[in-house]
Amino acid sequence: MLDLRAAASKAHDANAARRMLALALVLEGVERKTSAETCGMDRQTLRDWAHRYNAEGLAGLLNRRSAGPSPLLNPDQKAALAQMVREGPDLGADGVARWRRVDLKRRIEARFGVACMSAPWASSWRRPVFVGCRFVRSIRHPILKPRRRLKKLRCEGSRRPAGVRPGQAPGGLVSG
């Protein structure tokens, strides 16, 4: 009991501290439903955390980070891709003078058989493998200006009197 409360006071994660306090309440003899509601969880959720605590101890109450998605390319394919980027495109074979992400996406799909979106690959171009490689960004016409966001214009009759909140009638009564 005391070790759970002490660990909760030292925990950096609020959710883990909540779990520890809920289990401390259960060990002190408080009803499970009451201790779960006190700590902002369902009784079944408290039961699941109790099972993890029994199996793994305090480490079972901490948040776990997921491993994330598995990489689409294996290390050999990544090395081949990095070499391809360093060498640059062949104008005759690839039809471009400099790599664009779209062109590399097509080349990856053709060579490795891996279908990928271009957006997730954008972050991988900053990795040390691709340092010094130059990519062409999407080309914009020099005359075209970027779009400007327009402010919403209000009609003159749509202004609320001062001190009236949305959904409130001007006389102080709630509308509807």
**What pLDDT band is residue 172 in, cutting at 50, 70 and 90?**
low
Rounded CA separation 106/48 (Å): 46
Q: Over pLDDT 90: what percentage of the chain?
A: 24
Contact 21, 34 (CB under 8 A): no
- Tell me the C-alpha to C-alpha distance, in Å, between residue 111 and each of 31, 104, 150: 62, 10, 45
63 Cβ contact partners less than 8 Å away, ≥ 6 residues apart: 13, 15, 16
In the predicted structure, residue 24 carries a pLDDT above the cut 70:
yes
- Mean pLDDT of the 23-34 span: 93
* pLDDT tens track for 81-116: 888 888 888 888 878 888 777 788 888 888 888 877
On average, the pLDDT of the chain sits at 76
Q: What's the pLDDT score for residue 25?
A: 93
